Structure 1
Amino acid sequence: MSLMLRLVGATLWLALATACGESSPTGVPAPSEPAAWSTAFDASAAGWLMNVSAPPGGALLAVGGRLDAGAMYQRREDGWGPVPLTEAVPLLNWSHGFGPADIWVVGNGGTVLHWRGTRWQRVPVPTDQDLWGIWGAASDDLWAVGGRGRQAGDATLLHYDGLEWTVVQVPPLQRDRVDAFYKVWGSAHDDVWVVGQKGAVLHWNGSRWTEHFVGVSDDLISVWGTGRERVVVVGGRSNGVVARWDGQAWTHRELAPLPGLNGVWMRAPSVAHVVGIEGTLAVLDVETLAAHPVPATTRLSFHNVFGDASGNLTAVGGNLGALADDYQGLAWTRPLGPNE
């Protein structure tokens, strides 16, 4: 099942707003109250916003749009505004940059865009599968992942060596029917993680990919970390799931009544920020894997969260998976606390 279909079919969750109070759903005391969330910009007509990030020294960039029309929005000194594209592209899903003049964006239908400081240029890739994630250790060492998740062979793994993108053969997996990879993140060229359907987790050690088992069979949608010994993956369908890598082993936890999670970001090894379906915003204690949610005040879903160099946290999403041709975007922000 593709990510979009997963979001459409996810169980709606409305009880969190009255269940969280002063403690997490697990009964673990909540940390000090974080700053309040507010609207980053009016994204109601922006389409779905799938990702927000900023390259080192660069401005925040939000990507998304409609299934048939990708869009970008950038935060400038005078506020957020649309980014002109040189050609029509479908929905854009993720971005990764090395600086203000070297940014990559991937999207549906094998879309790959590259910003070199003057204009966005479409780059040919050897696939027409939807691409959900991109990450690189250097400008000549990038990975992109994707797959429509509908049939065997959809799961897609691409690599860029500075000259061209090539298909990388997915190693045989013990997990059955893994037909999509959703995100990729790494701490170095020889420490790269990929997550995907049915709890799939792959690790690149610089020479080969190996399969990991984290104790989760639900789709894993996102991955982030602070180094080789601190990696967090999140996902789930009706209930959120999380797993932590400590350099030696995985520890996992189901986060009911939190619904499925779509995004995770970390600045400190002990804290992760997670977002998901039905307005889920939560702070995760990485050591205990206890989630401390903010009472939901929107029924729209968040897809990604990111903290920038100025010390602000931004979460984006929309009415993801809506069947009607009525795309709504969502962009919220709040200051990061000193220990977050």
Structure 2
Amino acid sequence: MKILRYPVSLMLGTLAACSSTPAPVDAGADVTATDVVTPTDVVTPTDVVTPTDVVTPTDVVTPTDVVTPTDVVTPTDVPAIDVVTPTDVPAIDVVTPTDVPAIDVVTPTDVVTTDVPVVPRCGTMGSPSWAIENPLPVDQPFTSIFAAGPNDIYLASSTAAAARRWNGTTFAPVGGGTGVWGASASDVIFTDPTGVRRGAGTTFTATALGGAFRAVHGRAANDVFAVGLGGAVRHWNGTTWETLTSGVTAELSVVFEVAPNDVWVGSRSGGEGASIPLLHYNGTAWQQFTTSMIFSGASFVTPPTAVWGSGPNDVYFCFPERPVTRWNGSAFEQILMADLPGGCSGVSGTSATDVWFVGRTTSNGYVHRYNGTAVTHPWPASSRHLQSVHAASSTLVAFGGQGGSFATWDGATFTERSGGYREEIHRVWVAPTGEVFAHGPDAIYFGECGRWSKAMGVPGDRGDIAGLDATHVWFGATGGVRRINGTPLTVGPLEPYGIGASTDNTYGIWAANPTTVFSAGTTRGVEGMPSRDWVRAWNGSSWRDITPTVPFGNRRVTGFSATEVFVSGQSGAVLRFNGTSWTPESIGVTDFVQDLIALPGNVLIALTGNARNSRRRSPAGVWSSAGWGPGASLSFQRGWGNAENDVYATRYSGSGTYLWRWNGTAWTEVSILSDYLDDVAGNAAGDITAVGNVGRVWRYGRRAP
């Protein structure tokens, strides 16, 4: 199947033929099959090679032929389908004018030191750095929204640094915010890890309140409640933030003020299975509502994620995986169970007859509107895992959710303001020339120069990816493999193994050369027969079974040549295949081997369940301590390395960030604003990509001139 490319706003953009290293052939259509271009030849866009031109190894293009930073591609140079409109690329996610063509330029005021900018990855200029490439504008959830106007919307996140402001064209960081509410367009309040921040636009003044705060809501500029960790409650009376005693010490996560003497607060008292999930303040005292008081007979409930009410006798609560709950002035009642069987994660409204919910349903999307009698589903196609909503008026409703998803409703039309894919991405491989190939349950993805596209019509899978170059790439699939075989961006149909079952799960895959490929996976168990792990080898025309006779791990297969292939064993063993048979090798510890990393120079690294016990295999086949000492509780999942002093690993468990780097002396956290990451890979040129859930893609490399 051909990988189709469309504008970035749909994240199906036509990809520029760029990479972090010079391409081996001219990207233009003028190069024919008779043109031989050597790897040392850098052909610039102005060098048109005619069919009769054969570039010999001595034809080296001089530095004067290289396009300098002054050669900026103008809008007329980019085909219409590639033009990125202001709504396609948020301002914070683009670099300064010297980094990108004029159509992508933003001002320096859009970047703050706490944020990692989004930049196209192409070329060899400047210092390499990490940046988010998908999804956009951030890969963190927007869990709270305040819409001051259609071109003035504030989005807070459970990860404070991801908070943004939308000005109708671009996103800009606001310095952090875990919750947001505004008395007016000129008086917006964010909660943050130290207290609150008040202001408008991107200028805010911080006020420390003695702790971390999570949510804020009020009725007027001089009547605002903020809640946070340790049962903290503060009330702004127009002069000072006064302290109120809630009576609990748990985290308070949501707040909604109906009136000064009618305030509802969501609590984590009792932990995730909160025994006291709700508190109510009557202006003088606090009342605690237990789980059984809200859900008759229940003893377990996750704390509420949102509260909104049109008045004292009409207050709605969203509890994850529980029915929508309403306070009618005297009791709690569960409602809308047929329309929202999974409950809601966000609620807001303009009146008792105009209430908006966000919550996942099987067939009706995430957006639901209640008129007091019936529910409609105005946006059934939504699949953005929405979590928050603010209904500012009948013609302005704003939505936020996982992976930085953000959309608005103007009374007639829903408009996506964020960009990118938000499906799971589990595996990644980087070509020597910088092209990136990623794989997830939903699709195969291709990235180049910071632009991402999807292999349309090609199903995804959970298998690994292996390749030799950008035109020879294998994707592990159910019942066989798919591959790009000579034609760029063309993923062929499933190639069955011809052995085993059509339902075989392929997990690991590695290519030694164009006609020697190894894969590892599992034949699913059926009634009366257990599942069976296997390893298979392809000789260019057919597959054969080479499964070891001893237990082994089927998640990774790697090696250095067709006669030096490795899979992980059990209880501290690695199995080596010499082209004919398997030999178990003890790595010297009994830890389970999480992953195997083949480094240049025929050095193999075994990442173990306890990362402190990771081991090194020398080119001579001798196992020893890798000399690595990460935290005792740290466990790695997948790894990749370019050298023994340049190894990356994604974190499976433990504390810290989800990406770590070994520099030859110590492990350090890679400082990126990311949640869970599944895999990491790179190439010898230093282009590194890490991928994970909600479609997140982080890349490290040099920027375009």
Q: Give the structure 2 partner of residue 178 of structure 1.
A: 301
Instruction: Verify: 1:242 aligned to 2:384, yes or no.
Output: no
Q: In 2 relative to 1, CA 42–154 (structure 1 residues): closer, same or farther, beyond 3 Å?
A: same
Q: Give the structure 1 partner of residue 252 of structure 2.
A: 131
Cα-to-partner distance string for 1:222-241 (whole Å, 9 max, x where unaligned): 11001111111113499962
How many Å separate the matches in 2 of 1:104 and 1:58?
18
TM-score (norm 1): 0.66
How many Å separate the matches in 1 of 2:330 and 2:275?
23
Tell me how far 1:199 sits from its aligned partner: 4.1
- Assess if the C-alpha contact under 8 Å between 1:61 and 1:75 holds in 2: yes
- Assess if the C-alpha contact under 8 Å between 1:183 and 1:223 holds in 2: yes
- Assess if the C-alpha contact under 8 Å between 1:112 and 1:123 holds in 2: yes
Unaligned runs of 5+ in 2: 1-7, 14-80, 82-149, 152-166, 423-654, 658-668, 675-705
Q: Give the structure 2 partner of residue 335 of structure 1.
A: none
Q: Give the structure 2 partner of residue 224 of structure 1.
A: 348
- Assess if the C-alpha contact under 8 Å between 2:217 and 2:226 holds in 1: yes
How many Å separate the matches in 2 of 1:149 and 1:248?
35
Find the residue that maps to 2:302 and give its secondary structure.
Answer: coil
How many Å separate the matches in 2 of 1:102 and 1:266?
20
- Assess if the C-alpha contact under 8 Å between 1:55 and 1:99 holds in 2: yes
Structure having greater relative contact order (Cα 8 Å, sep ≥ 6):
1
Q: Give the structure 1 partner of residue 236 of structure 2.
A: 115
Tell me how far 1:107 sits from its aligned partner: 1.7
- Assess if the C-alpha contact under 8 Å between 2:276 and 2:289 holds in 1: no
- Assess if the C-alpha contact under 8 Å between 1:241 and 1:255 holds in 2: yes
How many Å separate the matches in 2 of 1:75 and 1:262?
25
Superposed counterparts of 1:15-30, under 5 Å: 17-18=10-11
Tell me how far 1:184 sits from its aligned partner: 0.9
Cα-to-partner distance string for 1:73-98 (whole Å, 9 max, x where unaligned): 2116x96233222x4212x2211122
Tell me how far 1:298 sits from its aligned partner: 11
Q: Give the structure 2 partner of residue 36 of structure 1.
A: 168
How many Å separate the matches in 2 of 1:112 and 1:39?
31
How many Å separate the matches in 2 of 1:295 and 1:151?
31
Tell me how far 1:209 sits from its aligned partner: 1.4
Cα-to-partner distance string for 1:24-53 (whole Å, 9 max, x where unaligned): xxxxxxxxx98733345542xx3xx22221
Superposed counterparts of 1:245-284, under 5 Å: 245-252=370-377, 255=380, 258-269=383-394, 271-284=396-409
Q: Give the structure 1 partner of residue 187 of structure 2.
A: 59
Q: Give the structure 2 partner of residue 95 of structure 1.
A: 216
How many Å separate the matches in 2 of 1:199 and 1:163?
30
- Assess if the C-alpha contact under 8 Å between 1:224 and 1:232 holds in 2: yes
- Assess if the C-alpha contact under 8 Å between 1:154 and 1:179 holds in 2: no
RMSD across aligned C-alpha pairs, in angstroms? 4.0
- Assess if the C-alpha contact under 8 Å between 1:160 and 1:166 holds in 2: yes
Q: Give the structure 2 partner of residue 28 of structure 1.
A: none
How many Å separate the matches in 2 of 1:97 and 1:118?
15
- Assess if the C-alpha contact under 8 Å between 1:133 and 1:144 holds in 2: yes
One-letter code of the match for 1:103? V
Superposed counterparts of 1:65-84, under 5 Å: 65=193, 70-75=194-199, 80-84=203-207
- Assess if the C-alpha contact under 8 Å between 2:11 and 2:421 holds in 1: no
How many Å separate the matches in 2 of 1:57 and 1:295?
22
Q: If you compute each CA radius of gyration, which structure gives the higher value, 1 or 2?
A: 2
Q: Give the structure 2 partner of residue 233 of structure 1.
A: 357
Tell me how far 1:251 sits from its aligned partner: 3.7
Tell me how far 1:327 sits from its aligned partner: 8.4
Tell me how far 1:274 sits from its aligned partner: 0.7
2:288 to 167, 178, 197: 167
How many Å separate the matches in 1 of 2:179 and 2:252?
13
Tell me how far 1:145 sits from its aligned partner: 1.6
Tell me how far 1:128 sits from its aligned partner: 2.7
Q: Give the structure 1 partner of residue 318 of structure 2.
A: 195
- Assess if the C-alpha contact under 8 Å between 1:173 and 1:211 holds in 2: no
Unaligned runs of 5+ in 1: 1-14, 22-32, 300-321, 330-340
Q: In 2 relative to 1, CA 274–80 (structure 1 residues): closer, same or farther, beyond 3 Å?
A: same
Identity, % of aligned positions: 22
How many Å separate the matches in 2 of 1:251 and 1:177?
30
Q: In 2 relative to 1, CA 154–244 (structure 1 residues): closer, same or farther, beyond 3 Å?
A: farther
One-letter code of the match for 1:89? G
Tell me how far 1:60 sits from its aligned partner: 0.6
1:156 to 273, 277, 281: 277
Tell me how far 1:120 sits from its aligned partner: 2.2
Find the residue that maps to 1:54 and give its secondary structure.
Answer: strand
Find the residue that maps to 1:133 and give its secondary structure.
Answer: strand
- Assess if the C-alpha contact under 8 Å between 1:223 and 1:264 holds in 2: yes
Find the residue that maps to 2:187 and give its secondary structure.
Answer: coil
Cα-to-partner distance string for 1:209-260 (whole Å, 9 max, x where unaligned): 1111343344622110011111111134999622221111334578556321
- Assess if the C-alpha contact under 8 Å between 2:277 and 2:301 holds in 1: no
- Assess if the C-alpha contact under 8 Å between 1:56 and 1:97 holds in 2: no
How many Å separate the matches in 1 of 2:192 and 2:271?
22
- Assess if the C-alpha contact under 8 Å between 2:233 and 2:243 holds in 1: yes
1:211 to 317, 334, 337: 334
Find the residue that maps to 1:197 and give its secondary structure.
Answer: coil
The number of residues matched between the two structures is: 270
- Assess if the C-alpha contact under 8 Å between 1:216 and 1:241 holds in 2: no
**Deviates most, 156-165 or 252-261:** 252-261
Find the residue that maps to 2:403 and give its secondary structure.
Answer: helix
Cα-to-partner distance string for 1:168-213 (whole Å, 9 max, x where unaligned): 3433348894322111111111111111110431111222211113
Tell me how far 1:294 sits from its aligned partner: 2.2
One-letter code of the match for 2:302? D
1:106 to 201, 205, 227: 227
Tell me how far 1:56 sits from its aligned partner: 6.0
One-letter code of the match for 1:294? R
